Structure 1
Amino acid sequence: MAALETTIQRAGATGNVKATREDWLKLALETLISDGVERVRVLTLGQQLDVSRSSFYWYFKSRQDLLDQLLDHWRQTNTRFIVERAARPSTTVIRGVMSIFECWVDEKLFDPRLDFAIRAWARRSPTIRRALDEADEERVTAIRGMFLRHGYEEEDAFVRARVLYFMQIGYYSLELNEPMSSRLPHVAAYLRSFTGQEPSAADVEDFSRYVAKAVSGGR
């Protein structure tokens, strides 16, 4: 979670610690992902940060305020980037789908662990269930729009968008830890299946370069 960098500052021999808002958010997000929403508790987080509860209330109105901000972070990452990639201008539908594929290979754009932490949370909360349903619909609608812009009929665009999106969500849910080196050779076949068109060698090469850069962390 690159935007939430830890900047804890320690002062003197008294052990006094000043934790920033980003520290609280980062730890809360990590806890949500690893242990679930029930473990995102002010007292527990404060103990881990070695600060008092008053530090928390300097930045947040309540635990619910913290949870709301975690949910907003999820919307502003996982959903936003899919929608942005789907709306990106593309010369061909192959290139359009490749833009969406970027979210599946770069966790800075789409964090599957965070998405499934939200899905687990949704099983406990009707409010989060509604937020999740809205996010799924927004993502599919954006992908459908990409297919429509490239001349697909309404129903065809809708079904292709659902297949592309929910196949990947299912892939994550099954925890298929298939290395990228095993998946990459099938990119042309995936593109062909999702679009009904034949990708060029340049398409595949460009996507392979993107994957290599994403896996190396942009170096």
Structure 2
Amino acid sequence: MPAKSASSKPSLTPEDWIREARELLIAHSIDAVRVDVLAKQMEVTRGSFYWHFTDRDDLLKRVLLSWQEEQTEQIIARYRKQGVTAEALIRELVELPFHGRAAMKGSSVELAIRAWARRDEMARKVVDAVDAKRLTYLEECFGNLGFPAPDAKARAFLLYCYMQSESLFRNQGSADDKSLRRQFVAQTLLAGASAGKP
């Protein structure tokens, strides 16, 4: 039986290319995310890529925008829709870095994109925008608990730094150590919150 040709593969979507580019970014760095490498890994011709993207820069921009949408815009929209209390949300965010395989995958993408942003202006702008949006949302949550604006801003920054740090140092400490850290951080950040706030 003859081997299948590249053209016999099911049609690929832009999301397929973005997903594969993300995997290469995690495994090797932005330098490895090249059209020829992607086409070879996906067992298709380069022409398939150009059906969806103008060039490599177009793909990279869409990788960044996809990350921004999935890991910030959609998550914030979901939290708003759920209508959870500000306190419950903050406690959940303290736990977020420990949400199993999904959290590990998310942090791997995040670290790879942040490494990319240290050397690339386009990536840096998107990362800065993501950080600003997340921090503004966290500040709003602390404000809803009755903290004055400067206090809410400082607590939002501390929570965000904690979440990023747990991703960086996820192998540090036992399960009990991590549990104690989470409890300590939640108690510290929520100390002084006004009762009865949403």
Shorter-chain TM-score above 0.5:
yes
Provide the residue aligned with 2:5 in structure 1.
16
Distance 1:13 1:181, change over 3 A: farther
Question: Matched residue of 2:119: which SS?
Answer: coil
CA distance in 1, matches of 2:174, 2:70: 23
How much does 1:44 deviate? 0.9
Distance 1:177 1:76, change over 3 A: farther
CA distance in 1, matches of 2:149, 2:72: 23
Provide the residue aligned with 1:67 in structure 2.
60
| Structure 1 residues without counterparts, runs of 5 or longer | 1-11, 199-219
Question: Matched residue of 1:189: which SS?
Answer: helix
> How big is each residue's C-alpha offset from its partner over 1:149-187, in whole Å with a ceiling of 9 and x where there is no partner?
111111110000000001221332345454655423554
Which protein has greater RCO, CA pairs closer than 8 Å, 6+ apart? 2
Distance 1:178 1:73, change over 3 A: farther
How many percent of aligned residue pairs carry the same amino acid?
28
Distance 1:197 1:183, change over 3 A: farther
Maintained 8 Å contact 1:143/1:161: yes
Q: How does 1:85-124 map to 2 (within 5 A)?
A: 87=80, 89-91=83-85, 93-106=86-99, 108=102, 111-124=106-119
Q: Which has the higher helix share?
A: 2
How much does 1:104 deviate? 2.2
CA distance in 2, matches of 1:85, 1:161: 19
CA distance in 2, matches of 1:145, 1:41: 40
Provide the residue aligned with 1:172 in structure 2.
167
Maintained 8 Å contact 2:36/2:46: yes
- Paired residue for 1:31, among 24, 33, 38? 24
Distance 1:181 1:78, change over 3 A: farther
Scaled by the length of structure 1, the TM-score of the pair is 0.73
Maintained 8 Å contact 1:122/1:129: yes
Count of aligned residue pairs for this structure pair: 186
Q: Which residue identity does 1:27 align to in structure 2?
A: E
Maintained 8 Å contact 1:78/1:115: no
Q: Which residue identity does 2:45 align to in structure 1?
A: S
Q: Which residue identity does 1:16 align to in structure 2?
A: S
CA distance in 2, matches of 1:178, 1:45: 38
Question: Matched residue of 1:15: which SS?
Answer: coil
How much does 1:102 deviate? 4.9
